[in-house]
Amino acid sequence: MMMRGQREVAILGAAMTPVRKDLERPITDTFTRVILQALSEAGIGPTEVEGLYVTPPGFARPWNFMFACDLAAHLGVPTRGLVMVECGGSSSLAALKAAIQDLLTGRVRVAVAAALDQRAMPAGDDLFKNLPTYVARQIGLYGPYLGPYGIGAPIPLYALSSQRYMHEYQVSAEAVAEAAVRLRRNAEPNPLAEYRDPITVEQVLASPILSPPIHLLECSPFASGAAAVVLCRKDAAQGRAQPPVFITGFGEYHHPSHFLDDRASITTFEATVKAGAEAFADAGRKPSEVDVAEVYGVFAATELMLYEDLGFFSKGQAARAVAEGRTAKEGQVWMNPSGGRLSLGHPAAATPMMELCEIVWQLSGHFPKERGIESRATPYEVGLVHSEHGMVNGGFVLILEQ
Amino acid sequence: MADLKSMLDQGTQDGLQIYGHQCSRKFYELLKERRFASTRCRGCGHLTFPPRDFCPACFQPDVEWVDLPRQGRLYAFTQQERSVRFGKPDVIGIVELPGGIRLLTRIDGKFETLRIGQSVQMEFLELTPGLVLHQFRPV
Closest CA to A92 of A276, A227, A238: A227
What would the pLDDT profile of B53-87 be if each residue is shown by its tens digit?
Answer: 999 999 999 999 999 999 999 999 999 987 778 88
Residues 6+ apart with CB under 8 A from A257: A264, A390, A393
Tell me if chain B has a CB within 8 Å of the CB of A164: yes
Could you state, in order of their start, the residue ranges of all structural domains in chain A? Answer: 9-121+221-401, 125-152
Tell me if chain B has a CB within 8 Å of the CB of A65: no
Q: CA B54 → CA A152, B18, B58, distances in Å?
A: 29, 21, 9
What would the pLDDT profile of B99-132 be if each residue is shown by its tens digit?
Answer: 999 999 999 999 999 999 999 999 999 999 999 9
3-state helix, strand, coil in chain A (%, to 5): 40, 20, 40
Would you say the C-alpha torsion A158, A349, A331, A182 has a positive or negative sign?
A: negative
What would the pLDDT profile of B4-42 be if each residue is shown by its tens digit?
Answer: 889 999 999 999 999 999 999 999 999 999 999 999 999
Cβ under 8 Å to A: B residues 40-79: 48-50, 56, 75-79
**Distance from C-alpha of A199 to C-alpha of A178, rounded to nearest angstrom:** 10
Q: Residue B94 is nearest to which of A137, A152, A160, comparing CB atoms?
A: A160
- Asked if residue A195 lies in contact with residue A345, where contact means CB atoms within 8 angstroms, the answer is yes
**Distance from C-alpha of B66 to C-alpha of B47, rounded to nearest angstrom:** 9
**Distance from C-alpha of A29 to C-alpha of A36, rounded to nearest angstrom:** 10
- Asked if residue A10 lies in contact with residue A245, where contact means CB atoms within 8 angstroms, the answer is yes
Residues 6+ apart with CB under 8 A from A260: A145, A146, A157, A266, A391, B94, B102, B104
Q: Residue B14 is nearest to which of A132, A150, A164, comparing CB atoms?
A: A132
Q: How many domains does chain B have?
A: 1
Contact B103 A146 (CB under 8 A): no
Q: Which residues of chain A have a CB within 8 Å of the CB of B131?
A: 148
CATH number at residue B35: 2.40.50.840
Exposed, middle or buried, A45 (CB in 10 Å: 0-12/13-18/19+)?
A: exposed
Contact B18 A146 (CB under 8 A): no
The residue segments making up the domain with residue B63 are: 4-138
Transcribe A29-88 into DSSP letters: HHHHHHHHHHHHHHT--GGG--EEEEEEE-SSS---TTHHHHHHHHHT---SEEEE--BT
CATH class of A9-121+221-401: alpha beta
Q: Which residues of chain A have a CB within 8 Å of the CB of B84?
A: 131, 134-135, 138, 150, 152
The pLDDT of residue B89 is 84
Q: A with B: how many residue pairs have Cβ under 8 Å apart?
A: 138
- Alpha helices (H) in A252-350, listed in sequence order: 270-283, 300-309, 318-323, 340-343
Contact A211 B12 (CB under 8 A): no
First and final CA of chain B: distance in angstroms?
40
In one letter, which amino acid is B99? G
Tell me if chain B has a CB within 8 Å of the CB of A262: yes
The pLDDT of residue B1 is 52
Is the bond preceding A57 in cis, omega lying within 30 degrees of 0? Answer: no
Mean pLDDT value of segment B45-51 = 95
Q: How many residues in total does chain B contain?
A: 139
pTM: 0.97
Question: pLDDT 10s digit of each residue in chain A, 402 long?
Answer: 899 999 999 999 999 999 999 999 999 999 999 999 999 999 999 999 999 999 999 877 777 889 999 999 999 999 999 999 999 999 999 999 999 999 999 999 999 999 999 987 655 556 677 888 888 988 999 999 999 999 989 999 999 999 999 999 999 999 999 999 999 999 999 999 999 999 999 999 999 999 999 999 999 998 999 999 999 999 999 888 888 999 999 999 999 999 999 999 999 999 999 999 999 999 999 999 999 999 999 999 999 999 999 999 999 999 999 999 999 999 999 999 999 999 999 999 999 999 999 999 999 999 999 999 999 898 899 999 999 999 999 999 999 999
Bridge partners, B131 (sequence order): B128
The pLDDT of residue A367 is 96
> Residue A2's Cα: distance from chain center in Å?
20
Exposed, middle or buried, A328 (CB in 10 Å: 0-12/13-18/19+)?
A: middle
Tell me if chain B has a CB within 8 Å of the CB of A212: yes
Tell me if chain B has a CB within 8 Å of the CB of A124: no
Q: Which residues of chain A have a CB within 8 Å of the CB of B50?
A: 143-145, 262
CA nearest B82 in A: which residue? A210
The pLDDT of residue A102 is 98
Pairing verdict, β B37-41 and A209-211: unpaired
Tell me if chain B has a CB within 8 Å of the CB of A302: no
The pLDDT of residue A122 is 56
Contact A149 B14 (CB under 8 A): no
Provide the Cα torsion B45, B49, B51, B56; round to 10°.
-60
ipTM of the prediction? 0.97
- Asked if residue A396 lies in contact with residue A93, where contact means CB atoms within 8 angstroms, the answer is yes
